[in-house]
Amino acid sequence: MRIFHIHAGGATELGALPSQPPSQGFFWVACTRTAFGAQLGLIQASLQATTGLQLVDLHVSDLLNAQLPSHHDYTSQYDLLVFRRLATAQSDMPEPAAQGQAPTTPRKRSGPPVLRRIDTSPVGFALFDQLLLSVHPADCTVRDAYAARLLAAAPSDPREGRASPAAGVRQPTSPADLMLRVVNLMVDGYLDLRRELTRQLDHWQTELLKPRARYVNWSSLLEARLSLHQLDDTCEDQRTAVQSWIDELNTWAIPDSGAGQRDLDLLKVRSRDVLEHIERVVHHVRRLEQSTETAVQMHFSVQSNRTNDIMRTLTALTAVFLPLNLIAGIFGMNFEFIPLVHKQDGFWWAMGSMITIAASLVALFWRKRYLARTSGH
């Protein structure tokens, strides 16, 4: 568990849970799902001391549930957002499920490593006025990545309203601002995954469209299609959750001060930016699904066209040899008197006629393009 006190002068990491409201700024309590379940009583007591509130039982179950989809919920006192992020290589350990359920282990995917990255795990946020509680999977990569950025950032210049050039980012002004920044960091992971998926699927499509090659990697392609469907469903849940958060944000009271109004507008801008990034991922995933389906259909179309070429060639050859078989069959009859049978040059007359007929048919079929290939190289 890591606890931070974030204020205008910077960010400070604390060694214990806060026991009173902050004099300025707000607290960020970030813990793993296991630590949240083990220290639930202490966390609830700290929430009561700092905010005067506690999490309701249903929201505690949501934060402990590793199978919950992305969603947004709220009470009159705080908001709850669950957002599924991409799993990492270190997140293969079992995750605790909801209370009364057995821990679950992420399903191991076959195929290229990029497909294994599509596994997701939820990150829960409980948003209070002066405190943000975030519950992470066992690895906590998102928490640690943003915490390092937060601690390395220089204090903001109030005259300019932005951080110094060395920091590159402005300190969060509220728990909601911090939550949106962490969510945006998770969405950026989906944007990076999008590029890797595109390269992998482009490689498979190139292999599929080789007409003279036999494609054998069907299991990985099927796994990729299932993964894309799962990613599409995950992003749809994320979009619904963020849209619900935006709708709730629009109901907030308009602050009286100019600075408060500016912070609220900034929250709305950040929320719309996160939503736009999610929609971009959704559109790209659907485009990848469509292009994969198209490549598979083109593969079977090419194979069908190749089969048609082979059958047309075999049919033409059958038509060429059919009259030759007829001539051979006639001269093979068991009659005593057959023209040319007892002549010295009868064999050469038969062979000459057969060669002439075969050459004529080949020339005719070639001219009508019955023997020409229509598939590519």
Where residue 211 sits, what CATH number does that domain have?
3.30.460.20
Residue 71 placed within a domain: yes
d(CA 272, CA 270): 5
User: Of 269, 300, 331, which marks where a domain is finished?
Assistant: 300
- Looking at the structure of the chain, the number of domains it has is 2
Give the range among 152-156, 195-199, 242-246, 261-265 with minimum mean pLDDT: 152-156
What domain range is 204 assigned to?
2-300
Q: Binning pLDDT at 50, 70 and 90, where does residue 370 land?
A: confident
**Residue owning tokens 């494609």:** 215
The pair phi, psi for residue 200, each rounded to 5°, is -65, -45
The answer on 158 and 226 residing in a single domain is yes
CATH no. for residue 358? 1.20.58.340
The answer on 261 and 244 residing in a single domain is yes
The answer on 341 and 199 residing in a single domain is no
Residue 69 placed within a domain: yes
The identity of residue 63, as a single letter, is L
pLDDT digits (tens, 9 = 90+) for 183-203: 988 888 777 777 777 777 777
Max mean pLDDT range (47-51, 98-102, 163-167, 191-195): 47-51
The answer on 346 and 287 residing in a single domain is no
Over residues 124-142, mean pLDDT:
89
The answer on 223 and 105 residing in a single domain is yes
Instruction: Give, for 28, the enclosing helix (H) or strand (E).
Output: strand 26-32
Are 256 and 165 in contact by the 8 Å Cβ rule? The answer is no
User: Which pair of tokens denotes residue 253?
Assistant: 């009271």
Question: Which pLDDT score, from 0 to 100, does residue 115 have?
Answer: 63
For 276, counting Cβ atoms within 10 Å of its Cβ (0-12 exposed, 13-18 middle, 19+ buried), the class is exposed
The answer on 325 and 269 residing in a single domain is no
